């Protein structure tokens, strides 16, 4: 079965929701307008519970509970799409397609409330602050899994490039673990004309930035993936003063827990060792923000089957390349098995850029995919 007819008929309605969300972007946990509209719609659809939404099937003999998750938050970017429904808030925009994700899950909720053609329970999860990478974790800490007895979880992200009506997925790691590091280097300040009386933290920072690249070059198997990016370098206030301190901040991305542990350990050793060699000291803070997004092989089979039914076999990539981007849905997939899929959004500007806009042509495919996950995974 391709796109479900009833869902194809909802296209204009759901595109209207999507464009309204697009015009009213909200950031982080501050998604009150969006969440309010979501709750109102779920209530109007006749969900059995509203926050998060719960929909009981025609039968519930199976005792199965499936979670479908979308994110609602936007980004601190000044929109430059020029569309008539562009952001009405300067400096905020839906540049990651979460307006589309929210609308597709709402569309699926509407269809599933109407038809209830499954045996079990669907929980529709609308989460805040994906971009801050803590919204999903907050919902888990709130008891999301236990409260509903969720057994499996599915998520989806828009995928600029491939045409609407295509999907990409793979079993195993799909997105990276994203960690954040801060290295504070303490030296000794001096007049710039007397460097021999200083312990120059700027020199230490320069050596440290370079040495950190040996994690990828010399510590990790070249066939494994690791990114070490020092993205912030702060030191000094004047051209003629050697400062007391320097601070480096950046991110480490990995696709396996083993490589992640290696990178974290080497980062600390290199930072402290480099500082010590040059007579300074370094304090390292390493925050493990998000784990690897790992697709369960069995749940990926279901996702693949459903995506092929909706989009046609030739339009579904079953071994899409992993990327070093991160997704806080990874926290949920650590709690319960599930699958995360990419949905083609057509050519155009990339995610997190001022020109990006979710392509509404993808809506019926995404909604059908989510609806059919419930119907196929929990057949009535
Ligand atoms: Zn994003
Ligand atoms: Zn996103």
Question: And the tokens for 206?
Answer: 């320069």
Q: What is the pLDDT of residues 32-52, one digit of tens each?
A: 999 999 999 999 999 999 988
Phi-psi region of 165 (alpha: psi -120 to 50; beta: other; left: phi over 0): left
Question: Which-ligand-closest: CA of 132?
Answer: 1
- Report the percent of the chain where pLDDT is more than 90: 99
Active site residue 73: yes
User: Per-residue pLDDT for 1 more than 70?
Assistant: no
Q: How far is CA 160 from the centre of its chain?
A: 15
**Given 73, 131, 327, 328, the catalytic residue:** 73
Q: What is the pLDDT of residues 85-135, one digit of tens each?
A: 999 999 999 999 999 999 999 999 999 999 999 999 999 999 999 999 999
Phi-psi region of 236 (alpha: psi -120 to 50; beta: other; left: phi over 0): left
Closest CA to 107 of 9, 1, 2: 9
Question: Which-ligand-closest: CA of 358?
Answer: 2
Closest CA to 67 of 172, 175, 145, 157: 145
Q: What is the pLDDT of residues 165-184, one digit of tens each?
A: 999 999 999 999 999 999 99
Question: Which-ligand-closest: CA of 101?
Answer: 2
Question: Ligand 2 centroid to 240 CA: how many Å?
Answer: 44
Helices (H), 149-196: none
pLDDT of residue 52: 87
User: Per-residue pLDDT for 2 more than 90?
Assistant: no
Cβ atoms < 10 Å from Cβ of 232 = 9
Question: Ligand 2 centroid to 156 CA: how many Å?
Answer: 9
| β-strands 316-317, 293-295 pairing | unpaired
Domains and CATH numbers, the chain: 5-173+292-377 (3.40.630.10), 177-289 (3.30.70.360)
Distance (Å, whole) CA 252 – CA 248 = 13
Question: Ligand 1 centroid to 340 CA: how many Å?
Answer: 15
Instruction: Say if residue 292 is exposed, middle or buried (CB neighbours under 10 Å; 0-12, 13-18, 19+).
Output: buried
Question: Ligand 2 centroid to 326 CA: how many Å?
Answer: 9
Distance (Å, whole) CA 151 – CA 231 = 39
Evaluate whether 96 touches 123 at the Cβ level (below 8 Å): no
**Given 130, 152, 327, 328, the catalytic residue:** 130
pLDDT of residue 334: 96
Question: Which-ligand-closest: CA of 342?
Answer: 2
Question: Ligand 2 centroid to 219 CA: how many Å?
Answer: 31
Evaluate whether 292 touches 253 at the Cβ level (below 8 Å): no
Question: Ligand 2 centroid to 127 CA: how many Å?
Answer: 12
Question: Ligand 1 centroid to 280 CA: how many Å?
Answer: 38
Active site residue 360: no
Across residues 176-200, what is the average pLDDT?
Answer: 98
Question: And the tokens for 75?
Answer: 């980004």
Q: What is the pLDDT of residues 275-285, one digit of tens each?
A: 999 999 999 99
Q: What is the pLDDT of residues 293-322, one digit of tens each?
A: 999 999 999 999 999 999 999 999 999 999
Query: What are phi and psi for residue 273, nearest 5 degrees?
Result: -65, -40
- Report the percent of the chain where pLDDT is more than 70: 100
Evaluate whether 160 touches 347 at the Cβ level (below 8 Å): yes
Evaluate whether 288 touches 139 at the Cβ level (below 8 Å): no
What is this structure's pTM? 0.93
pLDDT of residue 71: 98
């Amino acid at each position: 079965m391709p796109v479900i007819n009833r869902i194809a008929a909802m296209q204009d309605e759901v595109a209207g929701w999507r464009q309204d969300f697009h015009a009213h972007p909200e950031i982080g946990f501050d998604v009150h307008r969006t969440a309010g509209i979501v709750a109102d719609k779920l209530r109007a659809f006749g969900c059995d519970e509203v926050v998060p939404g719960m929909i009981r099937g025609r039968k519930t003999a199976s005792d199965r509970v499936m979670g479908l998750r979308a994110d609602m938050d936007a980004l601190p970017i000044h929109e430059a799409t020029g569309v008539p429904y562009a952001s009405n808030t300067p400096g905020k925009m839906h540049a990651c397609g979460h307006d589309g994700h929210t609308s597709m899950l709402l569309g699926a909720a509407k269809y599933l409330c109407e038809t209830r053609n499954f045996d079990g329970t669907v929980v529709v999860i609308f989460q805040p602050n994906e971009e801050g990478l803590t919204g999903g974790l907050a919902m888990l800490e709130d008891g999301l899994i236990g409260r509903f007895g969720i057994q499996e979880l599915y998520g989806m992200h828009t995928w600029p490039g491939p045409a609407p009506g295509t999907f990409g997925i793979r079993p195993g790691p799909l997105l990276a673990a994203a960690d954040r590091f801060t290295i504070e280097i303490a030296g000794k300040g001096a007049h710039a004309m007397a460097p021999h009386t200083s312990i120059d933290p700027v020199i230490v920072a320069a050596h440290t930035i370079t040495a950190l690249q040996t994690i990828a070059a010399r510590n990790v198997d070249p066939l494994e993936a690791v990114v070490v990016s020092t993205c912030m370098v702060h030191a000094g206030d004047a051209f003629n003063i050697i400062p007391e301190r320097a601070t480096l901040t950046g991110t480490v991305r990995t696709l396996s827990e083993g490589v992640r542990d290696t990178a974290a350990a080497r980062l600390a050793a290199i930072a402290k060792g480099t500082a010590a060699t040059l007579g300074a000291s370094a304090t390292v803070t390493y925050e493990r923000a998000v784990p690897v997004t790992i697709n369960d092989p069995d749940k990926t089979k279901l996702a693949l089957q459903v995506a092929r039914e909706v989009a046609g076999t030739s339009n579904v990539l079953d071994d899409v390349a992993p990327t070093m981007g991160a997704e806080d849905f990874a926290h949920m997939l650590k709690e319960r098995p599930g699958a995360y899929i990419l949905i083609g959004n057509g050519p155009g500007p990339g995610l997190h850029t001022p020109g990006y806009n979710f392509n509404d042509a993808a809506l019926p495919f995404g909604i059908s995919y989510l609806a059919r996950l419930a119907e196929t995974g929990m057949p009535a």
